[in-house]
Each structure stands twice: as C-alpha cells, then as structure tokens.
Amino acid sequence: MAYNAQPSKSQYGHPQVHTNAAGSSEYNGGETYAIKVPIDYTTADAAVLFTLPIRSRIQAAYWEVTTGFTGGTSSAIGLSSSQSPHDAKGDLLGGSSGDVAATLVAGVTQGTLGLSFTAAPKLAVVDAGATIKFDRIASAFTAGAGFVHIEFVVTG
C-alpha cells in the first residue's frame, strides 16, 4: 500500500480520513498520521502493508481482530520493517515468538511489543521509502481476519 497525499485538514481543522483502493484507511493530520490495514489468515509472509511517505517514529501498533485467528500448528504473526534494526520478524509487533491465537481473538488487542520497543533504545524510527511488513512467524493460521493499526509521528 502506498501513501497518497491529500488535503490534511477539514475546513474545521480536523484530520482528514482517506480510504485507498485496498480498503485501508489513511489519516493525514500533519505531524502525526495513522494507518488501518486489513489482514487475514491468507496474508503472505513478508507482504508489504505500507510504504512510509516520510521519516517517522512508530508511536503505537495494535491488532483489531474481527474474526478470531485459529488453526495451524502454534501459528503466530507479527510486524517488522524493511529497515534495520527493525527488520527481524516481530520487531515492531508480535515479538520474536509472534502473537498467537490466544491473543488474536475478536476485539482490539495491544499484542506483544516487538524488540524495537522493549530493548534499548526502545525507539523505532523508519525512513521514507521503508516498508512495514506482515510476518508469519510460525506456521500459518487457517482462519482469522481483522486489521493492524499503526500510529506514526513525523520526524522529518
């Protein structure tokens, strides 16, 4: 998914929400922005979910599960980046073991913080052009759907 710049604020000063052709929401509000990307059990390992338009710090990432993830053998998923040092599976979300079916039930869940947020310096800054990737950390689910939400702060 690529980011397409659009007017950042309404006439009342509120951030604008844009939906791209893939059905993902993109929020462009100036210094911060957020994405909501659909995922499901068929999402491929290393699938690119988003390409950063500008150097940004990842402020938060979490799962919104609409259909609980099930199946596979100890299946686990996460998020990483194409940019080192955030490029190992689960570095941004899921951790090295990934988030499993017990975590990925219907509703909103924080998931497991990735190493980029739990080890020094506990900061994930990703450059323009880098991508956010979906990780199949173990096995593969046979059912499940939802979204991953990521909030960013522009660092220039």
CA distance 104 to 16: 29
Q: Name the residue ranges covered by the structural domains of the chain.
A: 36-150
Which has more pLDDT, 62 or 3? 62
- Segment 54-111, tens digit of pLDDT: 899 999 999 999 999 999 999 999 999 999 999 999 999 999 999 999 999 999 999 9
Both tokens of 69, joined, read: 């993830």
pLDDT at 24: 63
pLDDT above 50: residue 1? no
Q: Report the mean per-residue pLDDT for the chain.
A: 87
Distance CA 142, CA 125 (A): 33
Residue 99 CA, chain-centre distance (Å), reads 13
Dihedral-angle region of residue 107 (phi above 0 means left; psi in -120 to 50 means alpha; beta otherwise):
left
- For 20-87, strand residue ranges (E) read 25-28, 32-40, 48-51, 56-70, 76-81
Higher-confidence residue of 156 and 25: namely 156
| Least-confidence region, from 4-13, 43-52, 128-137 | 4-13
Please say whether the beta carbons of 61 and 92 come within 8 A: yes
The radius of gyration computed from the CA coordinates of the chain, to the nearest angstrom, equals 15
Measured between alpha carbons, how far is 138 from 136 in angstroms, rounded to an integer? 6
